[in-house]
Structure 1
């Protein structure tokens, strides 16, 4: 992943080699901040409104004042793309912390929040989106306010690392057997034509792609139920998938070494992948469906009696 040269800060645009903050910085020492990752396709932000709204919600929840009004932030982030001459697929990372101040658990007074945003080239994960991925299960030991997209990610990091060490793409998190989400994605199970996923409570991140998937389901007449599923339900699943800004709609074909159904990405997952590409404006020649037969998708009809 190639990092673009210009970085947006709370005061100016700087070269990434010149970006510098004091070591007594609230994000570094306390994880006292929030962040967003926004997908970019062909030089254009995708789901930008949803990410910006969530950024401000997260900042408000931990009492950080974003140094820009929304309109100004939009303008500056668009300029960031222009200055970096972004024309391909990339991601924009934006972080806001409470600021730089002598280390003290109590909020410092009169300190301006630190902000930086940068862009990296990131190609789409075409092969795993076509073939599906394996995941592991892992206890969810995170705090109770996961709807805040905070910098406190150590439990997520440990779970993701364990997945990597076991040769898997992700870790499905669960509280006493009830699935919440993944370490860096939302999780879904399909049974008898209906999608099940954990409700958008404070215990999970309210994913921007997750919100769009729910809209896709409404348009495609696919039942979408915010009802938690368990590790036991996974054993009987017809399909599973996960979603995030960088993984898009990713089929899950194995969990803890056991295949989901026949071990192939399911039809509903494919329908949602197709809807995602159309919504994001992915051209036909760059589709993951180059090696997938489309007629089966077009002929598919969700179960009319699914409940």
Structure 2
């Protein structure tokens, strides 16, 4: 089945061959793809190997055959930094879709994946990390394969937008009162000197920073307990924090109407922030802020 040649785009008409992007693209039409976001500090990737490993796990989970091995894509990503002469703090976005083919739910035969990556500046959110952020709780409407870093992010987008509309930084997601993670980060509770977080099941993204936090806690002899906590537990928490590649380790000082402890970032969160900076080889001095 061939597509007729004239396409409507942005309320204008043009020949399909003139489009700047493939319109029969499975990432666009089905969300049939995966992605990674990798933090960059002073022109150097942080946790690059962990991100590449996860890219391959996601690809295998949705049956995309990547046209490179881990060493090849790592080399290409390093070359991308060199070609852009990037020396600042930023992030890389890498996306792989199954490819371009006539629209059909069934996988096309012998299709070549579409791949692109770009880097951009992104300063650290020093104020949020110093003073903590406010969050809301939000029902987790996502699918059952959240461990795959796929392009199917509409429930995450809507939750994050709701948080913003309520003057908050993030939305803490929950299934029937059990906290899973946030809309774009992992969530943690500190109680009696122990760090609690949802187990690395299919219901959460296995965050690269999350794995680093588990390593930090072991090095500091802080119990890291993969046990889900509830919305009700939040009011009794000593500390709450979140983590992601762009948020690093950010304290949460308020959830909905509930102030966490004394409303200031806690000691264990601070220790983990310091461990993160040492591990990421960040040598800049934090700018101090007041609440």
Do they fold alike, i.e. is TM over 0.5? yes
Secondary structure (helix, strand or coil) at the match of 2:219 reads: helix
Q: Distance in 1 between matches of 2:148 and 2:270?
A: 30
The equivalent of 1:172 in structure 2 is 172
The equivalent of 2:90 in structure 1 is 90
The equivalent of 2:288 in structure 1 is 291
- Alpha carbons 1:134, 1:257 under 8 Å: kept: no
Question: Deviation string for 1:172-221 (max 9, x for gaps)?
Answer: 00000000000000000001111100000011000000000000000111
More divergent stretch after superposition (68-77 vs 134-143): 68-77
**Deviation, structure 1 residue 76:** 0.8
Question: Deviation string for 1:41-76 (max 9, x for gaps)?
Answer: 011000000000000000000000112111111111
Correspondence 1:1-307 to 2 at 5 A: 20-283=20-283, 286-288=284-286, 290-291=287-288
Question: Deviation string for 1:260-305 (max 9, x for gaps)?
Answer: 000000000000000000000000xx233x539xxxxxxxxxxxxx
Secondary structure (helix, strand or coil) at the match of 1:116 reads: strand
Secondary structure (helix, strand or coil) at the match of 2:75 reads: helix
Q: Distance in 1 between matches of 2:74 and 2:257?
A: 44
Q: Distance in 1 between matches of 2:248 and 2:254?
A: 18
Q: Distance in 1 between matches of 2:114 and 2:67?
A: 8
Question: Deviation string for 1:108-145 (max 9, x for gaps)?
Answer: 11210000000000000001100000000000010001
Q: Distance in 2 between matches of 1:97 and 1:140?
A: 25
Q: TM-score, normalised by structure 2?
A: 0.92
Number of residues of Structure 1 aligned to a counterpart in Structure 2: 271
Q: Distance in 2 between matches of 1:224 and 1:138?
A: 25
Q: Distance in 1 between matches of 2:46 and 2:72?
A: 18
Q: Distance in 2 between matches of 1:244 and 1:157?
A: 16
**Deviation, structure 1 residue 257:** 2.5
Unaligned runs of 5+ in 1: 1-18, 293-307
**Deviation, structure 1 residue 26:** 0.3
Unaligned runs of 5+ in 2: 1-18
Q: Distance in 2 between matches of 1:207 and 1:261?
A: 26
Q: Distance in 1 between matches of 2:159 and 2:75?
A: 36
Q: Distance in 2 between matches of 1:103 and 1:287?
A: 52
Secondary structure (helix, strand or coil) at the match of 1:281 reads: coil
